[in-house]
Amino acid sequence: MLLELAGVSRRFGGLAAVADLSMTVAEGAIHGLIGPNGAGKSTVFNLVSGVLPVSAGAIRFRQAPITGLTPAEICRRGIARTFQATTVFREYTVRQNLLVAAQPRVNDGTLAALFRLRDYREREAAAVARTGELVSTLHLDLIADRMVAGLPHRDQKALSVGMALATGATLLLLDEPLAGLTLAETREVMDLLRTVRAGGITVLLVEHDMRAVMDLCDRITVLDHGTRIAEGTPREIQTDPAVIEAYLGAEA
């Protein structure tokens, strides 16, 4: 198992946003995490990426515990996430955004940068090259040097996925990558996610667009009130009575 949550809980005061959640994500999968609003999906992302500490339980990535690590450390282990709202650095160009993400393991030292030591130059060149590759993979060539603030929503979404990729992560946590996209744009980003998976990268996806989720995912976990109410293939989930009840209310 690539990612494993064992009995994970997160309480805010008296409210359990996530309660005793156990789930696993298999390597190479596109795994959907769905549920009604307030089910705790984003909280799960915050716990796995280290943005919030867990109240109880353990999270393991490649068998190693990652609970208690900082977001930056977790990213360096190979987990990158996107956010619903702040997904990109708006004052930077597409290329600069990718560069921020591109080389977190590079020596960020100021002395090396100041004197442009050979090691620094080589790593910088490698990062620039990698950024260039990503720009073409994401089909952002034409706008690579434009400031992000003025770009269409679709490009910002694609860029945020690209930034997660640029970290060299092997597991991407994508928080609603399709929200606010048109039908055609949705299809483009879905194709992008399939390309990503084909490259051997695992995706854990929170998404409200059910058609896309059913179409994309190999496996789906359904949350409601912070607990897992179902898990299975898209076909299994669609016919699961507990899921239908959570989403529609009994016989709505």
Partner 1 sequence: MARSTFLGPAVTLALVAAVGVALPVLTQDSYHLDVATTVAMNLLLTMSLRLQLNTGQVNMAHISFMGIAAYASALAVTRLGLSFWIALPLAPLVAAAFAVPIGLVALRLSGPYYFLVTFAFSEVVRLVFNNFFVGLLGGASGLVDIPAPSPLLGLTFTDKPSQYWLMLMLFLLGAVVLVRLDYSRFGLLSGAIRQSELLAATLGVGVLRVKLTAFVIGAVWAGVAGAFFAHSHHVLHSSDFGLEPMVLLVAYTVIGGVGSVWGPIVGTILLTFTSEMLRELRAYETLVYGLVLILTMLFVPDGLVSIPGRLRRAWQRRRAGRADAMGVGVAA
**Positions in the binding site for partner 1 (CB under 8 A):** 49-51, 70-72, 74-76, 80-81, 83, 86-93, 96, 99-101, 103-106, 108-110, 113-114, 124, 142-143, 146-147, 163-164, 167
Residue 93's DSSP bridge partners are 147
Smallest distance, partner 1 to C-beta of residue 52, A: 11
**Residue nearer to partner 1 on the CB measure, 114 or 198:** 114
Smallest distance, partner 1 to C-beta of residue 130, A: 14
Q: Alpha carbon of 66 to those of 58, 74, 108, 181, 201: distances in Å?
A: 8, 7, 23, 33, 19
Q: What is the 3-state secondary structure (H, E, C) of 4-67?
A: EEEEEEEEECCEEEEEEEEEEECCCCEEEEECCCCCCHHHHHHHHCCCCCCCEEEEEECCEECC
**Residue nearer to partner 1 on the CB measure, 112 or 229:** 112
Residue 218 CB neighbours (<10 A): 14
What six digits make up the tokens of 124?
């910088």
Smallest distance, partner 1 to C-beta of residue 220, A: 24
- 3-state DSSP call for residue 240? coil
Smallest distance, partner 1 to C-beta of residue 163, A: 6
**Residue nearer to partner 1 on the CB measure, 92 or 247:** 92
Nearest alpha-carbon partner for 53 in 41, 43, 62: 43
Q: Give residue for tokens 């921020």.
A: 100
**Residue nearer to partner 1 on the CB measure, 8 or 173:** 173
Question: Under 8 Å CB-to-CB from 175, ≥6 apart: which residues?
Answer: 41, 42, 45, 81, 82, 83, 84, 206
**Residue nearer to partner 1 on the CB measure, 5 or 48:** 48
**Residue nearer to partner 1 on the CB measure, 157 or 228:** 157
Smallest distance, partner 1 to C-beta of residue 69, A: 11
Smallest distance, partner 1 to C-beta of residue 102, A: 9
